[in-house]
């Protein structure tokens, strides 16, 4: 606790007197709380508070919130959790939940004492409003593939898996981290770490997910020997009870589309009408599906702004099946 005392002295000019709570005082406390925390009592700004020093780095927000509530009820005093280190993602979630915590030398967030002092955290990196296409691919893959988490792959392995360069994966990882969607761990080999469940991850990221469709064009014939995936209303019947519409939609990766355009292999290409509507996607739809139709979450994102009541009902079905 010396580091904490020095930090409080430097920031508040207070010589903190900390006393460790005896075993007798916590004898009736649940064992899992006694095992996880070293517990102390002190006075801060003329108010008695309980300091709990976390013995491990598990900062899963729901678990900490429950433990804090139990400790507060037990001591009937504000509880402040002290961490040696904490990730930016976990830190922001604790702030959102208004949980008192101190990271000596870095931050003191005590909403019960009306205090929020930040020392050495860097100014947040300026982020785009939406995720990069590559970051969106990683996020959607992680949500859909519950038995094959992205966290199990190094950046190098992710690059091979998704057919991106390692630099592109690094940029995608930084993009996710800067938006506080995940943490990056490791030194020589780096890994992504999502410390919340898939449903919460989807809810946090939803406003950051961009429509994968760059634009729509029309052709009279589909190009041969080309990876195309049913999309839009042509894909909805696969995942929902909606009937297929009259217009046939197919998704194609933008790089492949522009190659076909250069080769003049698109018959009667125009932006108004045709037998087939081709949706030009920002990322390769084939990465996220093993079928001839796009994945359900990219499909949801591509149609969520559609005001057709039938389509909105179908999108609700997708969420119930793949998120809830």
The average confidence (pLDDT) of the chain is 88
Alpha-carbon gap, residue 189 to 208, rounded angstroms = 27
- Rounded to 5 degrees, φ, ψ at 48 are -70, 130
Check residue 61 and give its pLDDT. Answer: 66
- Chosen CATH of 133-208 out of 3.10.129.10, 1.10.510.10, 1.10.10.10, 2.60.120.380: 1.10.10.10
User: Which residue would you say has higher pLDDT here, 110 or 318?
Assistant: 318
Task: Quick: pLDDT tens for 65-108.
Answer: 888 888 888 888 899 999 888 877 788 888 888 888 888 888 88
Check residue 60 and give its pLDDT. Answer: 65
Check residue 75 and give its pLDDT. Answer: 87
Check residue 300 and give its pLDDT. Answer: 97
User: Which residue would you say has higher pLDDT here, 124 or 195?
Assistant: 195
pTM: 0.64
* Tokens standing for residue 323: 């998120």
CB atoms within 10 A of CB 34: 13
The torsion angle over the Cα atoms of residues 89, 94, 96 and 100, rounded to 10 degrees, is -150
Is the confidence at residue 214, as pLDDT, over 80?
yes
Q: Given pLDDT bands bounded at 50, 70 and 90, which one contains residue 14?
A: confident
In angstroms and rounded to an integer, the radius of gyration of the C-alpha atoms of the chain is 26
The pLDDT of 11-18, averaged and rounded, is 86
Tally: H helices and E strands in the chain: 12, 13
User: Which residue would you say has higher pLDDT here, 297 or 67?
Assistant: 297
Task: Quick: pLDDT tens for 43-73.
Answer: 887 788 999 887 665 556 677 888 888 888 8
Alpha-carbon gap, residue 285 to 139, rounded angstroms = 14
Check residue 123 and give its pLDDT. Answer: 41
């Amino acid at each position: 606790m010396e580091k904490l005392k020095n930090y409080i002295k430097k920031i508040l000019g207070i010589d903190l007197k900390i006393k460790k709570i005896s075993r007798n005082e916590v004898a009736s406390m649940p064992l899992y709380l006694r095992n996880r925390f070293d517990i102390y009592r002190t006075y801060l700004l003329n108010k008695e508070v309980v300091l709990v020093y976390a013995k491990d780095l598990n900062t899963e927000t729901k678990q900490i919130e429950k433990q804090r509530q139990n400790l507060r009820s037990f001591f009937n005093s504000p509880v402040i959790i002290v961490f040696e280190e904490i990730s930016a993602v976990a830190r922001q979630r604790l702030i959102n939940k208004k949980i008192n915590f101190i990271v000596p030398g870095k931050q003191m967030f005590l909403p019960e004492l009306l205090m929020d002092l930040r020392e050495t955290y860097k100014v947040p990196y300026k982020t785009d409003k939406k995720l990069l296409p590559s970051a969106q691919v990683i996020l959607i893959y992680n949500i859909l593939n519950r038995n094959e988490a992205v966290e199990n792959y190094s950046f190098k392995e992710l690059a091979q898996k998704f057919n991106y360069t390692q630099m592109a994966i690094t940029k995608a990882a930084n993009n996710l981290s800067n938006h506080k969607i995940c943490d990056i761990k490791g030194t020589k080999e780096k890994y992504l770490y999502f410390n919340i469940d898939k449903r919460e991850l989807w809810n946090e990221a939803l406003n950051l997910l961009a429509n994968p469709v760059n634009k729509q064009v029309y052709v009279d014939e589909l190009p041969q020997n080309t990876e195309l995936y049913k999309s839009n209303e042509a894909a909805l019947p696969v995942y929902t009870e909606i009937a297929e519409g009259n217009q046939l939609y197919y998704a194609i990766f933008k790089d492949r589309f522009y190659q076909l355009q250069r080769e003049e292999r698109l018959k009667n290409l125009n932006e108004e009408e045709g037998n087939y509507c081709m949706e030009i996607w920002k990322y390769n739809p084939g990465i996220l599906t093993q079928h001839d139709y796009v994945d359900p979450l990219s499909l949801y994102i591509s149609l969520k702004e559609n005001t057709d009541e039938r389509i909105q009902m179908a999108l609700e079905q997708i969420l119930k099946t793949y998120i809830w």
